[in-house]
């Protein structure tokens, strides 16, 4: 008995010793190739063990393998699908002795898993398993099928994955999960499988957990996942055999945290709106071909969505349909996955977009449209009431683009393309055209008189930065506008070019009937809550082909319901003639009475017609905006008149126009003026000092003013709502004073001298010759016109020379644009002589001239002619200068022709001397 006991203990000793020394006696590294070959038979991939294989029986039987590689498929980016630093597997020895393989723990450390979607659409994780271990090429028939020994029962209790890296790649797009820890526990007691784990994605922590009931298929399951402040939970039943599952899910997402975590920068308004969680609930179903979410509901702040979605795994097509949106809205999105990304279509319609946008109006539109639209809420309510949208969408790595965009509103249509990057800086690029932009601009507070046609907008905007910095090019009606800077920021650069500024002005106000020429403008736009300023402002305007440069600054301030414009500008020479163009020729029929008391025939007043209009001046339109202008110009030119060194200060306040100051140099003198224009009390005062008379006076025919200095004073008041009313109600004085003048073209002093010494009719012929040439010098010329209700009366008109004096009287009828004036020229040496009378009548700018010879003719007949006929017959000799004999011809001799031609003329002069005097005086004038 004693020997039996010793024998048993000895046997146990040798067994224990064998168990302890067996791992040292068996080197499994010698079987690496066999192990790799056998594994390759089962999974169809090459398995390589680069490290050691160690067998351990104490304290827990198991095996440890290091440096294991599982080969990848051909054409994959990585040569290995899995690289494992360490694999440890432990079994329960007692259960093993009973024929049950119970793996108490499987531990994988430092695994690197490379998952990849290949160009052919298959994943590298798809294996062709051969669980029988026979070569795939070998055909197994019933006759050849080996007799299988029943496989031992295998049970795995725990699987742990530590410090793993999982990378998924499709084309050039990669997703990496780092520091992944996974724990799987299987409880045979309650037939449950529990999974939990954690890791990092984009340096952000995530966790997941799940539970599967090990029962007959389909098996109940629960899963939960949390990351980036969001969570997903689902429960249902799964059938492993059919690889399908059904159940319900609940998703809670914090968009702001998600976008921030994956480096998608959204505008502050969107981030503010998306700070709250989005909750989605619905049913789902999963199969190898289709994943669908049916009848889900989504709560987005106060906005509730309903719809369904599905993913076709065979065609890689994703569809999303949203229905019953606020405002009777519908959205449908279909996306197709390709090697270049995602492509698809977007459709949207709503009968009341304002209701759909209501959750955003408090933040998004108000922020985006601030400083552009006066009332963003009204803007959306009115213009975007009904909308239809269609587009093609492309999603590529870091870029989303929208092509063939068509947004149709009741009055306006937008077409084009939009693209945006959603990693890093969120830059939106667009190429759009807008038709019928007038209603859109009207809601923005800009009412145009004419349509600019199709508006094309091309550029980019950084949506992730405050102020929305942008670079835009806008084209409309041949205009090119450039914009660089923040759309909602405090300033941006603006450039503008237009070949016809007249057309451009016609869009904003009444279109002028003259050509302003081309316009170029460069400025910086500064914006605040109630003010927009252009400073510095630099540009040029064509003005009939001669560019006029200008610079300065302009600002627009909103003071309640009223706008205030302040402008401070410097310009080159402004050519008013080129600006206004040539006036159209008109004929105004008037009737006038001449010296004879008979009505004259109807005739053209002037090339320009009456300049007044009965059309009311829009004083009411001026009340909406107050304007303050300071202008310094090198000159203001109209035809041959230039106001040099022009300084203008003007103000429009509450519908009244105030000319605070107008000054400059004109006609060689200095001009200062001021005034105001309003319906009840308009005034104008002007003073021209020391002007050069030769530049101021009008020169006609052979008569020219070549020297002199002059002063002009105007002081007028009036009232009225049209230019005709202002002319009809004009009151005031106009004074003109000239000194040291020289008039070239006639010699008034010589005429006066001849008339004063007239003692023979033959001397009258010399007067005509002196009127046609010579110079007239005068020391002083004064004229005063007093206006009352539009009628100007000459209260003073005098000019003195050495031998003559000129005086006059008459009226200027401004409403009819008509002049009626009589000028009298007297001889200082012969005060007994009646004056020569010259009458001017007709249009103010082009009157007719007539000479009244009646008094002078009668005086000559009564006095001069009577004395000449006394004492014989001297008249014959005195008339020789006027009754000239006819020159002889070749057929006659002087002796034959002279008596026959002279005698009738002499007889006529003797019989009717008054006719001779009349003919002589007519020849003078």
* Residue 320 within any structural domain of the chain: no
What's the pLDDT score for residue 580?
Answer: 56
Whether the Cβ atoms of residue 478 and residue 500 lie closer than 8 Å to each other: yes
User: Which among 496, 500, 480, 479 is positioned nearest to 544, based on CA atoms?
Assistant: 500
- CA gap 113, 125 in Å, rounded: 10
**HSE, side-chain direction, 13 A CA sphere, residue 684:** 14
Residue 155 in tokens: 């049970």
Whether the Cβ atoms of residue 586 and residue 598 lie closer than 8 Å to each other: no
Number of domains in the chain: 2
Domain boundary among 869, 886, 913: 869
Domain boundary among 869, 888, 918: 869
* Residue 173 within any structural domain of the chain: yes
What's the pLDDT score for residue 146?
Answer: 42
State CA 702 to chain mean position distance: 58
Alpha carbon distances (Å) from 468 to 369, 428, 492, 533, 728: 11, 10, 11, 19, 57
* Residue 748 within any structural domain of the chain: yes
3-state SS, one letter per residue, for 759-787? CCHHHHHHHHHHHCCCEEEEEEEEEEEEE
User: Which among 503, 536, 543 is positioned nearest to 521, based on CA atoms?
Assistant: 536
- CA gap 823, 733 in Å, rounded: 20
- CA gap 617, 587 in Å, rounded: 24
Residue 446 in tokens: 């800009």
- CA gap 831, 804 in Å, rounded: 10
- CA gap 753, 254 in Å, rounded: 111
- CA gap 746, 769 in Å, rounded: 9
Name, in order, each residue with C-beta under 8 angstroms of 832's C-beta and a sequence gap of 6 or more.
none
Please indicate, yes or no, whether the overall pTM of this predicted structure exceeds 0.75.
no
Residue 381 in tokens: 């309510």
* Residue 804 within any structural domain of the chain: yes
As averages over each run of 10 residues, the pLDDT of the chain (925 residues) reads 52 51 62 81 85 79 88 88 90 73 86 86 74 49 43 73 89 82 81 86 84 77 84 87 87 73 54 64 89 85 82 83 82 81 85 68 47 58 73 82 87 89 76 86 71 91 80 91 84 90 78 78 88 91 77 87 89 76 37 35 46 84 85 87 93 91 94 93 95 76 79 96 93 95 79 64 48 76 95 92 88 94 85 83 86 72 57 44 43 42 43 50 45
Residue 345 in tokens: 């279509």
**Hey, is 243 helix, strand or coil?**
coil
* Residue 813 within any structural domain of the chain: yes
- CA gap 734, 232 in Å, rounded: 92
**Hey, is 567 helix, strand or coil?**
strand
Considering only CA atoms, give the Rg of the chain: 54
What's the pLDDT score for residue 463?
Answer: 76
User: Which among 67, 93, 69, 96 is positioned nearest to 82, based on CA atoms?
Assistant: 69
* Residue 362 within any structural domain of the chain: no
What's the pLDDT score for residue 25?
Answer: 53
* Residue 265 within any structural domain of the chain: no
Q: Which class for 735: exposed (0-12), middle (13-18), buried (19 or more C-beta within 10 A)?
A: middle
Whether the Cβ atoms of residue 451 and residue 439 lie closer than 8 Å to each other: no
Q: Which domain holds residue 19?
A: 8-127+153-203
- CA gap 469, 487 in Å, rounded: 6
* Residue 766 within any structural domain of the chain: yes
The 3-state DSSP composition of the chain as helix, strand, coil percent (nearest 5) reads 20, 50, 30
Whether the Cβ atoms of residue 109 and residue 86 lie closer than 8 Å to each other: yes
């Amino acid at each position: 008995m004693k020997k039996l006991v010793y024998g048993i203990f000895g046997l146990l000793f040798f067994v224990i010793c064998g168990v302890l020394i067996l791992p040292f006696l068996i080197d499994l590294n010698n079987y690496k190739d066999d192990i790799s070959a056998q594994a390759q038979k089962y999974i169809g991939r090459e398995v390589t063990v680069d490290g050691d294989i160690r067998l351990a029986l104490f304290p827990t039987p198991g095996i440890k393998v290091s440096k294991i590689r599982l080969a990848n498929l051909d054409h994959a980016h990585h040569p290995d699908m899995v690289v494992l630093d360490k694999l440890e597997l432990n079994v329960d020895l007692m259960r093993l002795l009973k024929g049950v393989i119970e793996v108490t723990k499987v531990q994988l450390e430092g695994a690197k898993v490379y998952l990849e979607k290949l160009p052919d659409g298959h994943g590298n994780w798809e294996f062709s398993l051969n669980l029988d271990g026979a070569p795939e090429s070998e055909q197994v028939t019933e006759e050849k099928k080996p007799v299988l020994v029943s496989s031992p029962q295998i049970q795995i209790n725990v699987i742990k994955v530590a410090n793993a890296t999982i990378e998924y790649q499709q084309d050039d797009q990669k997703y990496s999960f780092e520091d992944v820890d996974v724990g799987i526990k299987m409880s045979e007691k309650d037939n449950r499988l529990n999974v939990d784990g954690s890791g990092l994605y984009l340096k952000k922590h995530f966790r997941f957990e799940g539970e599967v009931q090990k029962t007959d298929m389909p098996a109940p399951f629960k899963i939960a996942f949390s990351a980036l402040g969001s969570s997903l939970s689902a429960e249902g039943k799964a059938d492993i055999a059919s690889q399908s599952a059904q159940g319900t899910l609940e998703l809670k997402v914090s968009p702001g945290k998600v976008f921030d975590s994956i480096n998608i920068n959204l505008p502050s308004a969107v981030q503010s709106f998306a700070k709250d969680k989005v909750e989605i609930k619905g049913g789902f179903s999963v199969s190898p071909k289709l994943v669908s979410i049916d009848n889900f509901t989504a709560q987005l702040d106060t906005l509730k969505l309903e719809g369904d979605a599905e993913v076709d795994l065979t065609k890689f097509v994703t569809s999303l349909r949203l229905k019953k949106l606020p405002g009777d809205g519908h959205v449908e999105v279909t996306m197709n996955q390709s090697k270049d990304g995602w492509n698809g279509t977007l459709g949207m319609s709503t009968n009341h977009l304002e209701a759909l946008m209501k959750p955003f109006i408090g933040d998004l539109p108000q922020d985006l449209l601030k400083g552009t639209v006066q009332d963003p809420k009204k803007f959306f309510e009115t213009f975007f009431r009904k909308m239809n949208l269609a587009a093609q969408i492309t999603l590529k790595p870091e870029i989303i683009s929208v092509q063939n965009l068509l947004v149709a509103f009741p009055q306006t249509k937008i077409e084009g393309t939009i693209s945006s990057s959603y990693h890093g800086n969120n830059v939106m690029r667009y190429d759009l055209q807008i038709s019928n932009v007038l209603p859109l601009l009207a809601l923005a507070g800009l009412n145009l008189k004419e349509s600019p046609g199709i508006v094309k907008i091309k550029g980019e905007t950084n949506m992730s930065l405050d102020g929305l910095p942008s670079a835009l090019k806008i084209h409309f009606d041949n205009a090119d506008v450039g914009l660089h800077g923040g759309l909602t920021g405090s300033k941006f650069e603006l450039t503008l070019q237009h070949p016809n500024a007249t057309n451009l002005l016609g869009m904003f106000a009444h279109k002028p009937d003259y050509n302003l020429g081309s316009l170029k403008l460069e400025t910086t736009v500064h914006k605040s809550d109630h003010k927009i300023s252009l400073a510095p402002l630099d540009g040029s305007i064509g003005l009939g082909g001669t560019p006029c440069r200008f610079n300065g600054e302009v600002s627009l301030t909103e003071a309640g319901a009223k706008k205030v414009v302040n402008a401070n500008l410097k310009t080159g020479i402004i050519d008013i003639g080129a600006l206004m163009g040539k006036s159209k020729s008109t004929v105004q029929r008037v009737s006038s009475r001449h010296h004879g008391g008979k009505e004259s025939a109807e005739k053209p007043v002037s090339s320009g017609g009456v300049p007044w209009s009965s059309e009311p001046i829009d004083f009411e339109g001026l009340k909406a905006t107050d304007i303050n202008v300071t202008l310094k110009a090198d000159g203001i030119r109209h035809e041959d008149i230039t106001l040099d060194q022009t300084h203008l200060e003007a103000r429009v306040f509450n519908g009244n126009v105030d000319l605070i100051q107008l000054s400059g140099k004109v006609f060689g003198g200095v001009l200062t003026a001021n005034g105001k224009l309003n319906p009840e009390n308009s005034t104008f005062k002007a003073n021209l000092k020391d002007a050069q008379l030769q530049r101021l006076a009008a020169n006609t025919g052979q008569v020219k003013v070549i020297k002199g200095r002059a002063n002009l004073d105007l002081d007028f008041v009036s009232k009225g709502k049209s230019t005709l009313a202002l002319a009809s109600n004009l009151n005031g004085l106009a004074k003109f004073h000239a000194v040291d003048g020289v008039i070239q073209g006639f010699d008034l002093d010589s005429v006066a001298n001849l008339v004063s010494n007239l003692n023979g009719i033959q001397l009258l012929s010399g007067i005509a010759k002196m009127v046609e040439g010579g110079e007239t010098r005068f020391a002083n010329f004064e004229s005063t016109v007093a206006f009352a209700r539009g009628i100007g009366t000459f209260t003073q008109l005098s000019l003195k020379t050495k031998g003559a004096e000129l005086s006059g009287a008459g009226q200027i009828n401004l409403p009819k644009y008509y002049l009626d004036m009589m000028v009298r020229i007297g001889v200082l040496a012969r005060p007994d002589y009646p004056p020569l009378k010259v009458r001017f009548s007709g249009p103010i700018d082009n009157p007719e001239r007539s000479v009244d010879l009646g008094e002078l003719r009668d005086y000559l007949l009564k006095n001069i002619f009577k004395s000449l006929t006394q004492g014989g017959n001297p008249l014959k000799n005195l008339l020789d200068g006027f009754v000239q004999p006819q020159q002889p011809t070749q057929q006659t001799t002087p002796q034959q022709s002279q008596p026959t031609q002279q005698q009738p003329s002499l007889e006529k002069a003797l019989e009717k001397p008054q006719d001779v005097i009349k003919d002589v005086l007519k020849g003078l004038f």
